[in-house]
């Protein structure tokens, strides 16, 4: 897996101050994507053990609320397989910090038969606190929306969604 950027002290991609990992690779190719360079699976730098260690160290600071993973597309199967052990490591090291992920796939697509589903998808979903789902739709762009770019996208409370076996929107 490759990544385009790591941001520390990010306040735009989830609640509080966060560390944000922008993974590379996306086949969704949304019109007017804000990062089309991340469509390329080889964009940026290779995600290595040293990269993981660096992110773990950034998360150690008390003012950091959690990790956000976006892209590109974290739920491309190639990315999921590399993200799963990393996200498990984060959850184990920092159980009090939240993990958010942004995906162009809907929750229903990730749970059903879609290109974004693979053998580790359910495990990744179980590690998330919030999933921001749905492709960016330029015609539905709305700058007043919190943590999303277009009105079709949802902020999903993943622990409650998995517990109740139906989509529960995050509204905190």
Q: State the pLDDT at residue 152.
A: 95
Q: State the pLDDT at residue 158.
A: 98
CATH class of 2-164: alpha beta
Q: State the pLDDT at residue 47.
A: 98
Q: State the pLDDT at residue 95.
A: 97
Using CA atoms, how far apart are residues 119 and 40, in angstroms rounded to an integer?
23
Query: How does pLDDT run across 103-154, given as a tens digit for each residue?
Result: 999 999 999 988 889 999 999 999 999 999 999 999 999 999 999 999 999 9
State yes or no: pLDDT of 160 exceeds 80.
Answer: yes
Beta-sheet strand order (sheet of 98-102) = 45-46, 2-10, 17-23, 64-71, 98-102, 130-133, 154-157
Query: How does pLDDT run across 8-65, given as a tens digit for each residue?
Result: 999 999 999 999 999 999 998 888 887 889 899 999 999 999 999 999 999 999 999 9
Mean pLDDT over 91-95 rounds to 98
Nearest to 47 by CA among 55, 57, 39, 36: 55
Q: State the pLDDT at residue 115.
A: 84
Using CA atoms, how far apart are residues 86 and 21, in angstroms rounded to an integer?
12
Q: State the pLDDT at residue 113.
A: 82
Q: Where are the domains of the chain?
A: 2-164
Per-chain mean pLDDT for the chain: 95
Task: Give the pLDDT band (50/70/90) at residue 172.
Answer: confident
């Amino acid at each position: 897996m490759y990544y385009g950027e790591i941001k520390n002290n990010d306040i735009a991609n989830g609640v509080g101050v966060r560390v944000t990992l922008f993974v590379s690779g996306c086949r969704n190719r949304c019109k007017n994507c804000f990062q089309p360079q991340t469509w390329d699976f080889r964009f940026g730098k290779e995600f290595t053990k040293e990269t993981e260690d660096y992110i773990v160290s950034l998360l150690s600071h008390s003012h950091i609320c959690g990790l956000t993973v976006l892209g590109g597309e974290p739920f491309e199967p190639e990315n999921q397989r590399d993200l799963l052990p990393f996200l498990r490591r984060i959850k184990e090291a920092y159980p009090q910090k939240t993990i958010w992920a942004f995906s162009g796939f809907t929750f229903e697509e990730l749970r059903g038969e879609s290109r974004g589903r693979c053998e580790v998808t359910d495990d990744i979903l179980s590690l998330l606190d919030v999933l921001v789902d749905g492709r960016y739709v330029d015609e539905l762009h709305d700058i007043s929306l919190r943590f999303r770019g277009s009105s079709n996208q949802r902020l999903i409370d993943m622990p409650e969604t998995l517990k109740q076996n139906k989509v529960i929107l995050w509204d905190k």
